[in-house]
Structure 1
Amino acid sequence: MSKRRRFKQTQSLEVRLAAKAEHLREKAKEAPSGTERETLLCKARQFEEGLHMSEWLRTPGLQ
């Protein structure tokens, strides 16, 4: 039986999601127009939606 590898995250989820979204947007700027650029932008939007959802779930009214 193999052991699970565990990682201690040094940054919060929100910081990591925002950084990944920004990285994908920068990569999309460099990509030529077409499906690759649209895929990168779609993934960036998904990360941003995850960021917004995480922030929404952390609001005091929901706790």
Structure 2
Amino acid sequence: MQRRRFKHILTFPERLDQEAKRLRTEAEKLPPGSERDELLRKARQAETAFHVNDWLSSPGLRAPE
């Protein structure tokens, strides 16, 4: 069985940022409740992943040469 491959158009951070914005927009349309809270939680997770990725790729964390 072979694995399918994707060629992503957007970079990983761009996809995370786009997903967080999409989730927040979707959550704004819902009334307060558990479904809205879940969407906001997922948006925060995507934003956190974006910041962690940014931090990990910063020049301050490069291995010495």
> What TM-score do the two structures reach when normalised by structure 2?
0.92
Listed as ranges, the matches of 1:4-23 within 5 Å are 4-23=3-22
- Give the deviation of 1:27 after TM superposition: 0.2
Q: Name stretches of at least 5 consecutive residues in structure 2 with no aligned partner.
A: none
Alpha-carbon distance in 2 for matches of 1:37, 1:51: 21
Alpha-carbon distance in 2 for matches of 1:18, 1:57: 16
Aligned partner of 1:36 in structure 2 is 35
- Give the deviation of 1:9 after TM superposition: 1.2
Q: Name stretches of at least 5 consecutive residues in structure 1 with no aligned partner.
A: none
* Alignment length (residue pairs): 62
CA RMSD, aligned part only?
A: 0.6
Over the matched positions of the two proteins, sequence identity in percent amounts to 45
Alpha-carbon distance in 1 for matches of 2:60, 2:6: 31
Q: Structure 1 stretches (4+) deviating beyond 6 angstroms?
A: none
